[in-house]
């Protein structure tokens, strides 16, 4: 496993709180969601290309705003898509309509992966970032408090974390968008956590593959570990695009997965 130190690490004392993003950071059940979302959005936008705008340029535009909002509630990506349609002279449907269609398409892929586990063809370990179960068990054994904070809707996070057998590491400490998704904020989750424990941000380690959570952890003074997993190959080599985005967002450490937990802890300045 490659561990890259992207910026100087200074931890005054061992952290005690770890916050994990869900999709792409622990779970791979939704692997490929980016392509599904970008593909769905590009379908109507192809008919609205601007002069001299190529389809490749359109794809990059959509991918850019989708990834910039990665980690925020999914409805924000749908609202940005609706705005893009509006900017091109089309009256969009409500963002919730696009959200339902995205969930329908993604749901088909998730159902296939769940079915493979039910049939015994794959196991939960095949659908998480490699080494995730072992790292969570290690941190729990050390007495760390583990929290899950996701931009995916709460009912899906709870159900899928149970399917993947990682729910027991978090208990009730699972936070995600509910009935009013726009009200959810990962930064607010982090701030509440620090306030509840009456500690500074340096007590916090955040694991994530998105810009939103990485930036929030860094701004609060915590240690951001960027998880640049290649969700297709799971080969232990950081995805170069994710790597660059996570470093730009403030990640201090870049990893592809958790297969070498002792080396990761050592890089964090924590005795294995």
Which domains, from first to last, does the chain contain? 3-28+128-267 (3.40.50.1000), 33-118 (no CATH)
The pTM for the full model equals 0.93
Contact 224, 204 (CB under 8 A): no
Residue 134 has pLDDT above 80, yes or no: yes
H helical segments located in the chain: 33-45, 55-68, 74-87, 95-118, 132-141, 154-163, 186-197, 211-219, 240-249, 261-267
Q: Confidence band (pLDDT; 50, 70, 90) for 12?
A: confident
Residue 97 has pLDDT above 70, yes or no: yes
Residue 72 has pLDDT above 70, yes or no: yes
Task: Give the largest CA-CA distance in the chain.
Answer: 59
Determine what percent of the chain is predicted with pLDDT higher than 70.
99
Q: Confidence band (pLDDT; 50, 70, 90) for 1?
A: low
Pairing type for strands 253-255 and 17-20 reads: unpaired
Q: pLDDT digits over 217-266, tens only?
A: 999 999 999 999 999 899 999 999 999 999 999 999 999 999 998 899 98
Contact 4, 243 (CB under 8 A): yes
Q: pLDDT digits over 142-191, tens only?
A: 999 999 999 999 999 999 999 999 999 999 999 999 989 999 999 999 99
């Amino acid at each position: 496993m490659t561990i890259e130190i992207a910026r100087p690490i200074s931890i005054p004392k061992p952290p005690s709180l770890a916050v994990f993003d869900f999709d792409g950071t622990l779970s791979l059940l939704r692997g490929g969601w980016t392509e599904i979302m970008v593909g769905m959005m590009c379908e109507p936008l192809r008919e609205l290309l601007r002069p001299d705008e190529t389809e490749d340029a359109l794809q990059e535009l959509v991918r850019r705003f989708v990834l910039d909002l990665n980690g925020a509630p999914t409805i924000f990506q749908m609202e940005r898509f609706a705005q893009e349609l509006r900017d091109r002279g089309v009256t969009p449907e409500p963002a919730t309509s696009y959200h339902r269609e995205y969930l329908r398409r993604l749901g088909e892929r998730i159902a296939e992966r769940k079915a493979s586990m039910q049939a015994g063809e794959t196991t939960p370990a095949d659908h998480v970032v490699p080494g995730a179960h072992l790292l969570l068990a290690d941190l729990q054994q050390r007495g760390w408090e583990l929290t899950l904070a996701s931009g995916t809707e709460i009912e899906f996070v709870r159900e899928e974390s149970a399917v993947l057998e990682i729910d027991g590491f978090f208990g009730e400490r699972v936070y995600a968008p509910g009935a009013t998704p726009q009200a959810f904020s990962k930064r607010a989750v982090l701030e509440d956590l620090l306030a509840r424990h009456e500690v500074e941000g340096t007590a916090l380690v955040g694991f994530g593959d998105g810009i939103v959570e990485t930036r929030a952890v860094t701004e609060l003074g915590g240690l951001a570990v960027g998880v640049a997993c290649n969700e297709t190959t799971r080969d232990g080599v950081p995805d170069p695009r994710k790597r660059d985005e996570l470093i730009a967002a403030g990640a201090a450490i870049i990893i592809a997965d958790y297969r070498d937990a002792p080396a990761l802890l050592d890089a964090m300045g924590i005795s294995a």
